[in-house]
Amino acid sequence: MSEDQRGQKDREQVIVDVLGYIEKRGSFRGFLISHHKNQILMKAAIEQNFIVWDKIGGRYDLTALGRERLAEYRHKIATRV
């Protein structure tokens, strides 16, 4: 596996970890990355339409695309031989 492929896999894993964390907690608080990196991840997830702020609930929620992305990754892991 090339360095670029490893880097892509690492980025994919971080995105999936963030989506799973948001799904459970609705917040980035407590995610095991620095505040600055959390802000960068949050902005990227919003720009990619993976999460949205729920004003009424006062939390982040996964969009349909975010749920789809997380489900695809979980399926990929579950079916890995």
Q: Look at strands 59-62 and 51-54 and give their pairing.
A: antiparallel
Segment-wise mean pLDDT, segments of 10 residues, the chain, 81 residues: 62 86 90 82 92 94 96 87 52
Residue 14 is predicted with a pLDDT of 85
Instruction: Burial-class residue 44 by CB neighbours within 10 Å (0-12, 13-18, 19+).
Output: middle
CATH topology for the 3-78 domain: Arc Repressor Mutant, subunit A (1.10.10)
**How far is 9 from 12, CA to CA, in rounded Å?**
5
- Global model pTM greater than 0.85: no
pLDDT digits (tens, 9 = 90+) for 53-71: 999 999 999 999 999 999 9
